[in-house]
Structure 1
Amino acid sequence: MKKFTGSVLAAIVINTVAFQPALAQEEGTALVPLPSLDDFTRGEDGWAFGLGLGVEYETAYEGSDEFGFEAQPAGAIQWRRGDNIFYFAGEALGWRGLRSDTWLFEATVAFDEGREEGDSDKGRLNGLGNTEEGTEFVLQARRAFDNDWRYWLDGRVITGDNGNLGVFGAGRRFGETRDGTGSELGIVAVFNDSKRANRDFGITASQSAASGLNATNLSGGFRSIGINYTYRNYINKNWQIFGEVFYEHFSSDIRRSPIARSNYEAEVGIGFIYVF
């Protein structure tokens, strides 16, 4: 999700905000009032459904200097019981639970698509082959400074077939509603082990011979620092608009890989969801 056009996204956001507050106040209380965590339950127990489509402008693969548009499905099937939500969203199946008003825990099983040689239209991945697909397990904990969730800290561990990631961040929520609409700004530091670093940016001797790129073996450690802005609002009773801007700056260790044609990854996305 990279660079759609900041001015276009800003114009849509500003116009929507102009008539949103009165509608938002009618919506139910979200499990956690953070726009980055979709909640279609309207504060009620039972089943909830959201279905939509987003368009992203993003780098072709991690470290790429090629950009392009991509359509992505959006929404989820959710089931809520009190302070717990179970959900299925695309390639992820998970649980999210609120504890003591200021602690949020989440566990997810997700599918990692990997990378294909064809992801580069300029042939910059030729000879490297496809990276393996795999299953990932995500464990997350968020701690708010108060039950309004104005400021929060976040920790995530992502482990799976292709290595491990650790993500640590902090964020701030904007807006007064508690229905999960408004906007949110977060900053994260990302760490990886050597297996994950080499899966994404390493080049073996055989890959070097086939691609002409220098062999590269990376150690684990600091991977990147990123900043993310999320926006979500209701246009009317059933339609939601959402947007996201993301920027990730790679560490010097990652940037020394020939795969990293750019020292950053970025994306901009916008979309709509119909909440049943």
Structure 2
Amino acid sequence: MKNFTAFLWALLVLPVFSQTAFAGDSKTALVPLPSVDDFSRGQNGWSLGLGLGVEYETAYEGSDEFGLEVEPAGGLQWRNGNDVYFFAGEALGWRGVRADSWLFEALVGFDEGRKESDSDEGHLAGLGEQDEGVELVLQARRALDVDWRYWLVGRIVSGSDGNLGLFGVGRRFGDQQDGTGAELNLVVVVHDSEYANKGFGINPAQAIASGLNETQLSSGLRSVGVNYNFRYELQYNWQLYGEALFEYFSSEVRDSPIARSNYEAEVGVGVIYIF
């Protein structure tokens, strides 16, 4: 199970925090966006949310195989005014609001890599194993109005296997200020040649072992996509959340033998209990 170590760690530290750390009637989130976890209810100090989610997604990038996966959800957070420090899953990071219209985020997380066994049909046979690696993620959102109804977003992912960039525009639905409601993002994704070939390239040795054509990709457009998030408060301590993602690959990516599908898709839903 992905992120299971972090889930157990959060359970172990749970008794350390008293209920007074989470007290308060204010429910103003750092930013009122469903895609940004905020368990603080507008209060400074520690907050904790734990839950489970179920995802139906492609087995690997470019795959035409789909499967279900159960994952822990939530995380541990420390809020100090307009800054939140968090540990969620396999990511450790910070996010903060500046001038009421900028949301910045920086985190260190893990790329899970790829195994030949990720394909039940054997489509990755001969391509070898890709190890898990550390990635740095930097993100900024710029609100275009006072209540974060519209915004621009930019994200950079950098690791030992190259760099990826995402740029887009978002729209929030609903008037809540507590992070519930729904949002929609339209994005364009670009990558450098190293990142592109990590997912879709085939070097000479892999071509011989797999029988697939040698493939080398250049930097440039990776995909265009749409992402939908919602968050709903079932009760005071319970939240229902969900996400749907559709990413349509560029022509160069689609031409790779690894890309057995023209798109990548994911649908997930889960519940979180806020302590």
TM-score between both structures, scaled by the size of structure 2 = 0.90
**How far is 1:72 from its partner?**
1.0
**How far is 1:132 from its partner?**
2.8
Counterpart CA distance in 2 for 1:225 and 1:95 is 27
Counterpart CA distance in 2 for 1:126 and 1:266 is 23
Could you tell me which residue of structure 1 aligns to residue 176 of structure 2?
A: 177
Counterpart CA distance in 2 for 1:135 and 1:31 is 27
Aligned length: 251
**How far is 1:271 from its partner?**
0.3
Could you tell me which residue of structure 1 aligns to residue 256 of structure 2?
A: 257
Structure 2: 5+ residue stretches without partners: 1-24
Q: Do the aligned partners of 1:95 and 1:106 also contact (CA within 8 Å) in 2?
A: yes
> Which secondary structure does the structure 2 equivalent of 1:217 belong to?
coil
Counterpart CA distance in 1 for 2:208 and 2:217 is 18
Counterpart CA distance in 1 for 2:103 and 2:249 is 28
| Matching of residue 131 in structure 1 with residue 136 in structure 2 | no
Q: Do the aligned partners of 1:103 and 1:142 also contact (CA within 8 Å) in 2?
A: yes
Query: What does 1:13-162 correspond to in 2, within 5 Å?
Result: 28-162=27-161
Counterpart CA distance in 1 for 2:267 and 2:197 is 27
Counterpart CA distance in 2 for 1:94 and 1:133 is 19
Offset from partner CA, 1:99-150 (integer Å, 9 cap, x none):
0111111111111111110000000000001123211111111100122000
Could you tell me which residue of structure 1 aligns to residue 244 of structure 2?
A: 245
What is the letter of the counterpart of residue 58 of structure 1?
A: E
Counterpart CA distance in 2 for 1:27 and 1:252 is 49
Question: RMSD over aligned Cα, in angstroms?
Answer: 0.8
> Which secondary structure does the structure 2 equivalent of 1:79 belong to?
strand
Could you tell me which residue of structure 1 aligns to residue 193 of structure 2?
A: 194
Sequence identity, in percent? 65
Counterpart CA distance in 1 for 2:242 and 2:99 is 30
> Which secondary structure does the structure 2 equivalent of 1:156 belong to?
strand
Counterpart CA distance in 1 for 2:266 and 2:136 is 24
* Change in CA separation of 1:27 and 1:184 when aligned onto 2, cut-off 3 Å: farther
TM-score between both structures, scaled by the size of structure 1 = 0.90
Q: After the TM superposition, which parts of structure 1 deviate over 6 Å for at least 4 consecutive aligned residues?
A: none
> Which secondary structure does the structure 2 equivalent of 1:254 belong to?
helix
* Change in CA separation of 1:27 and 1:263 when aligned onto 2, cut-off 3 Å: farther
**How far is 1:32 from its partner?**
0.4
> Which secondary structure does the structure 1 equivalent of 2:252 belong to?
helix
The structure showing larger relative contact order (alpha-carbon pairs under 8 Å, at least 6 residues apart) is 1
Counterpart CA distance in 2 for 1:128 and 1:27 is 53
> Which secondary structure does the structure 2 equivalent of 1:155 belong to?
strand
> Which secondary structure does the structure 1 equivalent of 2:55 belong to?
strand
Counterpart CA distance in 2 for 1:141 and 1:90 is 21
Counterpart CA distance in 2 for 1:269 and 1:96 is 24
Q: Do the aligned partners of 1:132 and 1:162 also contact (CA within 8 Å) in 2?
A: no
Q: Do the aligned partners of 1:245 and 1:268 also contact (CA within 8 Å) in 2?
A: yes
Structure 1: 5+ residue stretches without partners: 1-25
Could you tell me which residue of structure 2 aligns to residue 13 of structure 1?
A: none
Could you tell me which residue of structure 2 aligns to residue 6 of structure 1?
A: none
**How far is 1:27 from its partner?**
5.5
Offset from partner CA, 1:163-202 (integer Å, 9 cap, x none):
1001101100000110000000001100000000000000
Could you tell me which residue of structure 2 aligns to residue 221 of structure 1?
A: 220
